Structure 1
Amino acid sequence: MRKLVFLFVLFATFGVVARAADVTFKASAPEAVVMGETFRLSYTVNAEGKDIRVPEIPDFEVLIGPSTSTNMSTQIINGKMTTETSLTFTYILQPKKEGTFNIAPATIKVKGANYTSNALVIKVLPPDKAEEASAQGGGKASASSAVSKNDLFITANISKKNVYEQEGFLITYKLYANPRKANVVGINQVKLPEFEGFLTQDVELPQNRQLTLENYNGTNYGTIVIKQAVLFPQRSGKITIPSGSLDVAMRVQVQSQRPRSVFDFFEDAGYVDVNRTVSISPVSIDVKPLPSGKPTSFSGAVGNYSMTSSISSNNVKTDDAVTIKVTISGNGNIKLIKNPEVAFPNDFDVYDPKVEVDIKTTTAGSSGTKTIEYMAIPRYAGDFEIPAVAFSYFDTKTGSYKTITSEPYKLHVEQGKGGGTSPVVSNFSNKESVKYLGKDIRYLKVNDIHFVPNNELFFGSFMYYMCYLIPAILFVVFFFIYRKQVKENSNLALVRTKKANKMAVRRLKNAGKLMKENKKEEFYDEVLRALWGYLSDKLSIPQANLTKDNVETELAKYGVDDALIKEFMDILNTCEFARYAPAQASDAMDKLYELTVDAIGKMENTIKK
């Protein structure tokens, strides 16, 4: 019996706690109101509450309140009935002056526990100048007058007009509608301009957006943000963002052509739905070039950054992987930052770094982190030092270059079981995919052979000796061919060079599939991977150490003409820009695909190993 009572009390207490945890107390009011007009301030709690305490509101006059209303809803789901009750306290307020005012949180008591609402910020706007003039003239503004360009328009606002190259700024497209002339019911066919010359990162807007009140040039408009984006200029000079347009569906009041009667109350004859095309004016940005004196470790980072680094272990064995993790955090063009250079010793096998980018774009700009993991495998035992990692960026606040340097790492490598000479095979993607091949060569053991002569005529004949001579010759030939193949396979650089074209063709086939599926960004990423992978394999340089500058230098050493080098550089630049540019036509991807295949074919004929 005691157990039953205990369980009952336990479940009852748990139910009370669970219901108490679900109690919400929320305050709501318009974000902006007009001076002289009234508005509602409501406090809603989803339980039976009492002793509500509202803070003092000295900037507003309380005309009515609090008035209380109760709402109950009942649902039956799978035979189970649930009842929800909400209690709302409403105040009618009127502002005393213009400005922006805060309303502190209120408190309420529910079943002995106190709950606090959210605070509110209300902006009080001045009345329309047109309404004041109409009131002074003794007239009344006609709601049936035609909608002019001052009653419905869109603006393109930029946070900065003078920026540095790669410095981000915010652009906001906002629609303004005069509520006395037009009631916006929908927006169709938005044709925003293309941001040519900029890298674009959109600001995520709420799904359910509503018109908010805003005073603009003395008139109160209902406004809604159409688009917000952070733009990063890719070149210096004066860049103009062209015009655009959008179609707005609105409901306007028209003057009736016949005397109205009491029956017109049941008709909507005084309003009509119309579509209006609103144009967006172009805006210009002055982009300053980055100043001279760039540090050697500068790779285009603009903004404000910090950097941290760590090493997986300072003591490893041969053929064990060592990883250096570099994390760059800050505000700016993180997506465009190139990986800092980590100089591993020459006796290390270096693999492509693993990169993770986490970016958040808001009205304050683009911020986030970029994490790069560099992996290498030591081949020989000894003590090594990995130099400090340097990262430079241009600080737009101070207008100067700054360099961040990590600490150098000392690495002690002990002899592993494999002797440090085992060949390494990798698909150059991540450290989990690195495999070690054991000894797969078994040398032939040749013993002395004794023949017992017999009396057959075949013994001692020409064919008898040829049966031994031909296999011996074939054995020698295949032996030397096999030794040559083993030697070449042990040279990973040579193997990669020979398979460079095959790997590039495989990646380009994947790019062709993405092109047919019209996946633009994935297509350009795959073409970039094919080009950088081909150059890395062909030139025997890890991708982590490849840059556009040293690629041009290395290709020139192999006797590649300037026209072919320029063709490769143009394809790389086109891919890097097109990934973040607005939607491209399909024929542009077709043309780039053909140029890439042709350029790799020419390079194969030029560099032969």
Structure 2
Amino acid sequence: MLRGLALLLLSLAVASGVHAQVSASAYADRTVLSEGEVLTFTLEVTGVDDLGTVTPPVPSRHLRLESTTPNLRSRTTFGAQTRITLGWRYRAVDTGPAELGVMSFRAAGQFFTTDPIQIDVTSRRPAQPRQRPLVQVPNSPIGSGSLFVRAVPRKTQAVVGEQIVVDYVLYFDPARVSPRQATATGTWDAPGFWREEMDVPTRDTYPRPATLGGRELRAVTIRRLALFPARAGELELAAMDFEIEIRETDTTDPFAPFFSPFRSRRVDRSATAPAVAIDVRSLPPGAPDGFGGAVGSFEMSARTAPLAAQPGDPVELILTLRGTGNAATLTAPEIDAPQGVDVYDPTSERSTDTARSPLVSVRQFTYTFVPQGGSFEIPEITWSYFDPEAGAYRTLREGPFEIRVDGAPLAAASGAGADDVDARWQRMRGLSTTPLWGVLAVGLALPAIAGLGLLGVRRRRQRPSRADAPDAASRLKRASDRPPKEQAAEAERVIRETLADPIGPLARTLPRRELVARAERLQGSDAARALDRVLAQCEAARYAGETGASDLAADARQALKPFGLGAR
């Protein structure tokens, strides 16, 4: 039975066309849990810009998937590469052996498949391991060696989720050896921890004096990690192996002190940093409602853009969390949807300042609101975390936010007849619907029409005819090969332009609900529902970055058939 983080390397089901820059991994943060406890299954894919919709693993009967929508969704950029992280929560509902089934997905044209993960659900909390002395940095080196490595954690006691910075320090006797470089070798595991690699500041890479066991030594930091414990108990950092290139002086030569530059040799030495144990305590009771497990010191900011919009225009709320917690597992605050406003699941981006100690991360969530008419208010946002330094839960607040929406509410627009709306559209463009003015307008236009007649005849053949332009079906067919967001934008454009014939020019700008209502009056509820479903998928892809498993362009072609697609 695997313990702690069960890291699964994904196997490629299709070997052809494999691109070396695309990689994927999946793991569960725990494989032993009690009834009622929750585990998180995480998928990480590196080297792709968009992952589309991914179906989480199907659990066995002892586990329950809390939501098919990922509770963890992040997009992180490292130089030229992008990593997409998705996470789902599963709750233990019954005791016994359980399993997270096989998961398959497609990324960048490649097909990936995970192996199943075995889970053990117990009727009570697993017994705590017997207490034993924590492994500390020794007061004296083992034996009389001239070079050794030790793991030096900033703290050996923490709560679940609290950041622990661990330095791997190389100690050496400057009279005998001179290290050149050190490289971690082999594999290393830290079951029960989420880890992040950190940069070692230049000042810490220079030898500094250190006294251990009465010996005068030098110390150099060769690696730094930020660890975040995922469960309570006594967790162990496994031993870590290093290969160290040194310049060594032959101490058996009595003339070495005088000729050391010429009587030293370069050799590779192996050193192992012994395992270290960390005592991790559970979070105290009294967590506020909505607490998602964040631990550390945080600050929150939020802004909206734009401050004013038209019905159907997207309004973004950008919420930023910055702090010392594990940004990869931070959950987005839930925001109640105001009445008459469509709200999409937030997208998120994560950045990490690996040069800061402790590690400081930023998680940005972008919510998209699409008002259907009338000004609205985004309610106050609250987000809670546990501050380990103060030993208390804290709650941050932002908002509320007032958004001005110019234009009549949809209720008023929906109650207007088609003639009224078309007349309103004409007046918006400076035209009058009064018959007298229409006659006068035609009369005044006749001289201009006569004067331009010859020019129109001469240029007629130079203009592309409507028949020469790509029709809607051809545009949708070509859109199938585009990236998901571009495909969604083109599909919505084609839908609205096609509906402009039976509905009128306003079909290009009407909010979705009003457009669907007019489509229902034309072709009935079934056709309108199919159209609404495709438009909703287009909006989700454009605003929330969500793409369905189906082909949006193909769905749009099917939905437009009742409205005359392909008839011309």
* TM-score using structure 2 length: 0.48
* TM-score using structure 1 length: 0.45
Higher relative contact order (CA 8 A, sep 6+): 2
Larger radius of gyration: 1
